[in-house]
A and B are shown apart, each in its own frame.
Chain A
Amino acid sequence: MSIVETSADDAKNDATGRFHPNLLGRRTPIAIISAIATTVPAIAVIAVLLVLLSKALPAIKYNGVHFLTSTAWNPGNFYANPVVTNGVEHPILAKYGVWPLLAGTLESSIIALIFALPLSVGAAFIVAKKLPPRLRSIASTFLELLAGIPSVIFGLWGALTLGPILSKHIYPFFAHHAPNIIFFRLFRGNTGNGEGLLTSALVLGIMVIPIIASTTRDLITAVPRLTEEGAAALGFTEWEITRKVTFPWISAGVIGATVLGFARALGETMAVAMVSGAVLGTVPHTIYSTYSTIAAAIVTQLDSALTDATGLAVETLAEAALILMAVTLLANVAARYLVKRVSSTSLPIGKGL
C-alpha cells in the first residue's frame, strides 16, 4: 500500500480513468445521494468554524489584542464573585496570553523539521536508489509501521523511555560542554527529567518522518530515467546526479511534503502533551525547558477550564484553537499548492496512518 500516489500514477489515471460523460447517469438516485454526502465535509468545516467563533467571541472581547503577546496564563479567582469587563463576565484577575503556547508550537515544530528533513531525504535516497527491490519493500514497511503508530504511543515511549535516557546520558554532555555564547547558550542549563522542548521536538520529528520520507521516495522513483542516465554518461558520481539532476526535479514536492509534515507537527496533541512537561505561561528559554503547545494545552486544560463558572477559561481555549487552526490551515494550503505542482492526488497523509 503506497500511502502517497506518485505523479506517474496520476498520468496513468488521466489516460484511463476519466469517464465518458454519457456513462455518468447524472440524475440517477445514487448521483443525487452521493452529491448530498459530499456536502457533509463542507458542512462540517463550516460548523467547526461557527462553533469555534461563537465560543471564542467573549474571550476575544475580554482578552483583546494583548492575547497574542501576553505571557500570562492566569484563570483568575474562581471563588470570588465574577466581574464584568467589556460586557464579558469573568473571574476576577483572569488574564490570558497565547504567546508562550504559540511560540512553543512553532519552535517544537521547526526543531522537529530540522531533524526530520535531512534524515527523511537521506533515507529516501538510499531506499529509492540503492536498495534491491526486496529490501526496498521491507524499508517501506517500516516507514508504514512508523506512520501507523498512534500519537499516544509515541507519547508513552517519549515520556517513559526516550526522555529519561536522553536526560541521563546525552543532555548533560551538551549542557556541560556548550559554550556560553549566543545560540549555544540555549544548550546550557538544567536538563530536567527529559520532558521538554528538545525531547518532544525529537518525538515530533520521528512522527513526521514517514510523511516526508515516503513522498520523497516516490518522487525520486518518478524522476525520468533518461535525464539521470544522461548525467551518468557524462561521468557524474551518484551524489552529483542526485544533487544536480534528481533534487532540482523533486525539490518543490519535497518542500510541499515538509510543509505538510510541519502542519502535522503543529496540530499534534497527545505526544506533545505527554512529553512537553505541559507547563503554561513561560516561553521556553533553553532547549530543555518544559513548555506546552496550543494543541497540548487544550487537551490538558479543558478539564480544569470547565470549573470556571463564567466560562471564560473554556472560551479562551476556543480562541487559542482558532489561532492554531489559522496557522495549520496556512501551512496546509501552502503544502497542497506546492505538492499539486508535481502531483495532483495528494492523499491526506499524516493523519495517523
Chain B
Amino acid sequence: MSYQISNHKKRSTSRRLANGVVLTLSSIALLAVIAPSIWIVFQILHKALPHFGLSVLTKSGVGLDGGLKNEIIGTAVISIGVVIVAGSIGILSGIYLAQYAKGRFASILRAASDILAGIPSIVLGYVGYSALVVGFHWGFSLGAGVITLSVLVMPYIAKTTEVALRQVPINYIEGAEALGFKPTRILSRITLKTALPGITTGLIVAMAISVGETAPLLYTAGYSQNLPKLTITHSPLGYLTYAVWTFYNQPNKTALQLSYDAGMVIMVLILLLIGISRIIVAQTQRHAETRR
C-alpha cells in the first residue's frame, strides 16, 4: 500500500516537473520572441539619435552626405500614389468579393488574389522593371514604382475590405431595405459606412508596407537626389529604404549615419501608422460595445 502511494507521488512529481519545465521553456521562448523587436528599435535609435539634427530632414542628399529630404518626400509621394491606385482597386475588389462574388468566376478571382499575395516582392520588382521601365519605355519613374508596389499591396487591401464588409450585421441591411433603400444606397450609406474603420485600417497598413518596402522599388523607381518631380514617367526619385540599403556598407562614415537616420525615420513612420490603426480599432470596438 505504502509502496503504491510513494509510486503515485513519484509519478505526480515527475508530471509536475515536466509541466514546470515546459512552462519555463515557453516563458523563455516568449522573451526570445519579444526581445528582437525591442533590440532592433533601440539599436536603430542608439545609432541614429546621437548625430541626428534637423538638417537631416531639411537637406537633400549630396553624394554620400547631406540629408534625407528628397527621400522623405519621395517615400511620401510613393505611399500616397500607392494608396490612391491600390486603394481604389483593392477596395472595389473587396466590395465585389464580399457582396457580389459567386460561383466559379469568383473563386478564380479570389485564388488569383491569393497567388498574387504570395509572389515574392523582388519578382514583382523584376517584372515591373522589364515591363514598365524597359517595355513601356517609362524609364525609372514614379509611375513604375507606384504600379509595382500597388500590385504588391492590392490583395491585402482587397482582403481587409472584404473581411470588414462581411462583418457588417445583416440586421442593418435588412432594416435599410425595410425602409425602402435602393441597393446602391444601402451599400454607400449603410454597409460601407459601417465597414469604414476596417477599410481605413487596411489602407493604413498598406501605407506602412509601402513605407518599408525596398525590393519592388529599386529597379522601378530608381533613385535621384533631386526632389521628386510630379511626372509619372522618366522621373526617378529617392525613397527612405533606398538610403538604408545603399549607404549601410559604404566606407564613408556620413553614409552609414544616413543609413541609420533613414532607418529611424522609417521606424517612426511605421510606428505612427500602426498607432493610428490601433486607435481606430480601439475606437470602433468601444462604439460597438456601447451599442450593444
Contact = CB atoms under 8 A, between A and B. Distances in A.
Q: Are A and B genuine complex partners? A: yes
Interface of A: 1, 5, 12-13, 16-20, 23-26, 28-31, 33-42, 44-45, 47-48, 51-52, 55, 118-123, 125-127, 130, 139, 141-146, 148-157, 159-161, 206, 209, 213, 237-240, 242, 263, 266-270, 274, 295, 298-299, 302, 314, 317-318, 321, 324-325, 328-329, 332, 336, 345, 347-348, 351-353
A31 B259 CA distance: 47
A45 B173 contact: no
A318 B22 CA distance: 47
B160 interface: yes
Interface string B184-200: 10110000000000000
Contacts of B34: 123, 139, 142
B184 A239 contact: no
Interface of B: 15-16, 18-19, 22-23, 25-30, 32-34, 36-41, 43-44, 88-89, 92-93, 95-101, 108-109, 112-127, 129-131, 135, 151-156, 158-160, 163, 165-171, 173-174, 177, 182-184, 186-187, 201, 205, 208-209, 211-215, 218-219, 241, 244-245, 248-249, 259-260, 263, 266-267, 270-271, 274, 277-278, 281
B114 A122 contact: no
Given A24-B183, A47-B131, A149-B40, A40 B123 contact: no
A24 B95 CA distance: 11
Nearest to A314: B130
B33 A45 contact: no
A152 B182 CA distance: 49
A141 B274 CA distance: 10
A267 B25 contact: no
Nearest to B188: A30
Given A26-B100, A145-B37, A351-B156, A269 B131 contact: no
A52 B33 contact: no
A145 B273 CA distance: 11
Given A24-B100, A353-B209, A240 B15 contact: yes
B29 A126 contact: yes
Contact of A302 (B39, B44, B167, B219): B219
Contacts of A299: 122, 125, 215, 218
B184 A28 contact: yes
B173 A23 contact: yes
A51 B131 contact: yes
Given A347-B163, A352-B212, A126 B27 contact: yes
A33 B94 CA distance: 12
Contacts of B43: 157, 161
27 contacts: A17-B170, A31-B100, A37-B88, A45-B115, A48-B119, A123-B26, A126-B29, A127-B30, A141-B278, A142-B34, A143-B33, A148-B270, A149-B37, A149-B41, A150-B211, A154-B40, A157-B43, A157-B44, A159-B249, A238-B19, A239-B18, A267-B120, A299-B215, A348-B156, A351-B156, A352-B208, A352-B213
